[in-house]
Amino acid sequence: MSKKLYFFMAILLVASMTLAACQPAATATTAPQPTTPPVAQPTTPPQPTTPPPTAVPPTAAPTVAPTTAAVPQLYCLVTDTGGINDKSFNASAWLGLQQAQTDLNATIKYLQSTQETDYAKNIQAMLDAKCNLIVTVGFLLGGATATAAAANPTQPFAIVDYCYGKDSPLCDPSAGPFDNVLGLTFATDQAAFLAGYLAAGMTKTGKVGTFAGLLIPTVTIFEDGYYAGVQYYNSVKGTSVQVLGYDPKQPDKGLAAGGFNDQTVGKNLANSLLQEGADIIMPVAGAVGLGAAAAVKANGSGLIIGVDQDWTVTNPDYTSITLTSVMKVINVAVFDAAKAVNDGTFKGGAYTGTLENNGVQIAPYHDLDSQVPATLKTEIDQLKADIISGKVSVKPQ
């Protein structure tokens, strides 16, 4: 074989080997997939540049406006004419919302009413502000709150010292009930009964006194209990302690200041009671009562019984003359209403604070504790138990 032919055949052999190497491999049979997929390694997802889409609301509307606990709520308060700094029921209600601000990370605001025509206007302003809860304070706001609640059935309301329907003897049966209104009422006659018994046991003149801001049910209920407590002491002890300034048989003729603001009027009324011989006075008059405390202190003798809050705490200038206070624990009731809205469990109806649930109480005797006889303290403790059990009625006889 010539060298050229040999060289040509060698080239063909190499070419055929190269072509064979370039052919595709045979297709492999697909292996069965594992029943449990492998766990993906965690990665940090990129942050969206636009907010996520709004969730679609449920088809059925709830009774009251829905809330989301993760979103800060706006809780709003409308005072009566006593104002936010009355050191009484308005201040106590605001304290409840302040707790909601701290514990629930809520935003809070209030509007102060200076006259009755402000009530509806201020409630409407809170509606316009899209408040998640509107708290109205005081018996005098009952009508305006009912009107607003009826017109805005998904807006949660709470009202202090008022309720609607027949859930409680303290409610107004001529309006409601409303699914979106929680009435916060207080059996203050129970605690005032204890204060009346205490006053009767502490008086040195045989006369104690009381007066109202206005003669409305949420005020006279204090005086009814106070009067009944004095009379019960008389029946047990055979004494004849008198109550000046109020008679439950003629409640419309009781001594009254005509409002809850003017401390000068309170001072004048207290001085009148002091001149008649009363040495322990319970003013049920909001800020007006501070004028009475000033009169008692200036007089140099006599004692005062505070209302709504513990006056030794809220009015320390009068600690030396404050025997006790008939307390409505409004702040806790208001906070509980706010928390229910926050938790999505809010519903209308009526709450009643009693001695049994600690919604009403008498305050400790503080600086005057040593002056209250041990036997009297024991009797009052037993009387509290007897009221809770129903053994003793707090209604005036």
DSSP per-residue codes, 171-240: SBTTS---TTEEEEEE-HHHHHHHHHHHHHHH-SSSEEEEEESS-SHHHHHHHHHHHHHHHHHHHHHT--
pLDDT of 47 higher than 60: no
Q: Among 47-61, 123-137, 218-232, 338-352, whose mean pLDDT is lowest?
A: 47-61
Q: Omega into 373 within 30° of 0, i.e. cis? A: no
| Phi and psi, residue 157, nearest 5° | -125, 150
How confident is residue 87, by pLDDT bands cut at 50, 70 and 90?
confident
> At the top level of CATH, which class does the domain 74-186 belong to?
alpha beta
- The residue-averaged pLDDT of 18-32 equals 37
Residue spans of beta strands (DSSP E) within 145-180 = 157-160
Tokens 């805005």 map to which residue? 152
pLDDT, residue 169, reads 81
| Rounded-to-integer distance, Cα 330 and Cα 135, Å | 11
pLDDT of 347 higher than 90: yes
Cα dihedral value 79, 82, 84, 90, nearest 10: -70
pLDDT of 255 higher than 80: yes
pLDDT of 342 higher than 80: yes
pLDDT, residue 64, reads 53
pLDDT of 86 higher than 60: yes
pLDDT of 7 higher than 50: no
**Domain layout of the chain by residue ranges:** 74-186, 189-328+365-389
For 304-325, write each residue's pLDDT tens digit.
Answer: 999 999 999 999 999 999 999 9
Chain Cα centroid distance, residue 18: 91
pLDDT, residue 312, reads 96
Q: Are 392 and 383 in contact (CB under 8 A)?
A: yes
Beta strand 322-328 with 360-362 is antiparallel
Q: Are 324 and 365 in contact (CB under 8 A)?
A: yes
pLDDT, residue 81, reads 92
Helix, strand and coil percent figures for the chain, each rounded to 5: 40, 15, 40
pLDDT of 2 higher than 50: no
Beta strand 349-353 with 181-186 is parallel
Strand partners, 322: 304
The residue among 13, 16, 10, 17 whose CA lies nearest residue 2 is 10
What 141-146 contacts at long range (C-beta under 8 Å, 24+ apart), as own/partner pairs, is 141/78, 141/80, 141/113, 142/172, 142/175, 143/119, 144/119, 144/120, 145/181, 146/175, 146/176, 146/178, 146/181
| Rounded-to-integer distance, Cα 57 and Cα 15, Å | 73
pLDDT, residue 315, reads 94
The DSSP symbol for 41 reads P
Task: Determine which helix (DSSP H) or strand (DSSP E) holds 96, and give its type and residue range.
Answer: helix 89-103
CATH 3.10.129.10 fits 189-328+365-389, yes or no: no
How confident is residue 63, by pLDDT bands cut at 50, 70 and 90?
very low
How confident is residue 131, by pLDDT bands cut at 50, 70 and 90?
very high
**Equal fold, 74-186 vs 189-328+365-389:** yes
| Rounded-to-integer distance, Cα 160 and Cα 257, Å | 21
| Rounded-to-integer distance, Cα 152 and Cα 179, Å | 11
- The residue-averaged pLDDT of 13-27 equals 38
For 142-199, write each residue's pLDDT tens digit.
Answer: 999 999 999 999 999 999 999 999 878 889 999 989 999 999 999 999 999 999 999 9
Q: What is the mean pLDDT of the chain?
A: 86
pLDDT of 50 higher than 70: no
Q: Among 22-31, 93-102, 172-181, 226-235, whose mean pLDDT is lowest?
A: 22-31
pLDDT of 62 higher than 60: no
- The residue-averaged pLDDT of 333-353 equals 96
Percent of the chain with pLDDT over 90: 78
- Measured from the Cβ of residue 59, the count of other Cβ atoms closer than 10 Å reads 5
How confident is residue 70, by pLDDT bands cut at 50, 70 and 90?
low
pLDDT of 54 higher than 80: no
- Measured from the Cβ of residue 278, the count of other Cβ atoms closer than 10 Å reads 25
pLDDT, residue 397, reads 82
- The residue-averaged pLDDT of 355-365 equals 97
pLDDT, residue 166, reads 87
Q: Are 127 and 153 in contact (CB under 8 A)?
A: no
The residue among 233, 176, 188 whose CA lies nearest residue 206 is 233
